[in-house]
Amino acid sequence: MLFTDKTFENCLSKIKTGEIKAIIFTGKNYGLATILADEIVKIFLPEETIFLDYQDDKKENPFLLGLKSNLQSGFFSNKKVIKVYNIKSKKGISKELSFLDEEDIIDKIVIFFSTEIDGKCELKSFFEKGEQIACVNLYEDDEKTAINVINQFFQENNKQIETSAVKAIAEMLHGDRKALLCECEKMLMYCNDKSITLNDVECAIESEQNADPIRFIDYLLSGDLKQALKEFELLEKQDIQMIMLTRMFIKSVKEVIDIKQMVVSCCDIDSAIKSKFLFWKRIPFIKIAVMKNNIPALNSYIKTSLKVEKISKIYGETIAKQVFIREIILKNIR
């Protein structure tokens, strides 16, 4: 079966009814692939998510053994989503994966990611022609599509944005959907009390002289406390809202947890990071954060951040900021 992002709802319907057991996302819009994969997870509601990294340079392919093992239904079978990264087309791969379209797979769905596949090849044709497998082609967003995505994002968040600002964002960031939405989220935080203008966009996207909450978070999680404190001082001068900062902090911590869990599941760290589609400048910091922090400590960050957000709503910004400094920043310094 063959789908695009425009017909993806039909694909989701077939996943709900159990007609599709495996799906491959192809094309250069990898960020959109991760977004749509999240939609699959939401409707499938797995009890477990497995991460595999395809390796086609070995005669005895550990990926294939791992995939078949995870698809087996034992006595205590549970619902699983299996995500496979970096799969490539090669001669005979349709025969290797033929069991996906032939066997009765219960309570499992496999999601393959391949940004390198473009045009016709054996792997793509295999998924397109299968009866219970599917291919979703994801082309890069053009400016018109990007404009629609931006307008929808700010409408959903009840935020006014000038037409010239929308056009500027689309011109600079069209192509990958995830990167575009990440910048929209940043703009939403920068301009939380006013309508977004062209000048706001130019300052936030083109300049790195302003305070950047993401830089602060990356410095903090990677242990560069000197730089983290400098960034936090800039954020204070910018009078950043603690609710917005804690939400971005929680999102970043969850990214690190996801990557760490993938690494624990025998996925190499580079493939795990690639799956989250992080801005390239963040990658060195995230690698350190993954190695430096354990999952209980990261979950503690989330718990404390939720506490800070609640305090901000009840007692105000000043007290919330004090708690954030004491229970998140200062604990790192010690």
List domains and CATH numbers for the chain.
2-137 (3.40.50.300), 143-206 (1.10.8.60), 213-333 (1.20.272.10)
pLDDT grade for 183, boundaries at 50, 70 and 90: confident
pLDDT reading at 225 higher than 80: yes
pLDDT grade for 22, boundaries at 50, 70 and 90: very high
pLDDT reading at 269 higher than 60: yes
pLDDT reading at 286 higher than 70: yes
The answer to whether the beta carbons of residues 63 and 52 sit under 8 Å apart is: yes
Output the pLDDT for position 231. Answer: 87
Q: Which is more confident, 104 or 210?
A: 104
pLDDT grade for 111, boundaries at 50, 70 and 90: very high
Using the structure block, give the residue that is written with the tokens 């993806």. 8
Output the pLDDT for position 313. Answer: 85
What are the φ and ψ backbone dihedral angles of 109, each rounded to 5 degrees?
-140, 140
User: In whole angstroms, what is the distance from residue 179 CA to residue 294 CA?
Assistant: 27
12-16, 80-84, 143-147, 187-191: range with lowest mean pLDDT = 187-191
The answer to whether the beta carbons of residues 87 and 121 sit under 8 Å apart is: no
pLDDT reading at 173 higher than 80: no
Output the pLDDT for position 208. Answer: 46
Provide mean pLDDT across the span 63-84.
Answer: 79
The answer to whether the beta carbons of residues 123 and 98 sit under 8 Å apart is: no
Output the pLDDT for position 334. Answer: 47
User: In whole angstroms, what is the distance from residue 176 CA to residue 195 CA?
Assistant: 25
pLDDT reading at 190 higher than 80: no
pLDDT reading at 217 higher than 80: yes
pLDDT reading at 203 higher than 60: yes
Provide mean pLDDT across the span 48-53.
Answer: 83
Q: Which is more confident, 105 or 280?
A: 105
Output the pLDDT for position 149. Answer: 92
Output the pLDDT for position 209. Answer: 47
130-139, 190-199, 322-331: range with lowest mean pLDDT = 190-199
The 3-state secondary structure of the chain reads CEEEHHHHHHHHHHHHCCCCCEEEEECCCHHHHHHHHHHHHHHHCCCEEEEEECCCCCCCCHHHHHHHHHHCCCCCCCCEEEEEECCCCCCCHHHHCCHHHHCCCCCEEEEEEECCCCCCCHHHHHHHHCCCEEEEECCCCCHHHHHHHHHHHHHHCCCCECHHHHHHHHHHHCCCHHHHHHHHHHHHHHCCCCCECHHHHHHHHHCCCCCCHHHHHHHHHHCCHHHHHHHHHHHHHCCCCHHHHHHHHHHHHHHHHHHHHHHHCCCCHHHHHHHCCCCHHHHHHHHHHHHHCCHHHHHHHHHHHHHHHHHHHHHCHHHHHHHHHHHHHHHHHC
pLDDT reading at 301 higher than 90: yes
The CA dihedral of 218, 270, 177, 285, to the nearest 10 degrees, is: 10
Provide mean pLDDT across the span 198-208.
Answer: 67
pLDDT reading at 56 higher than 80: no
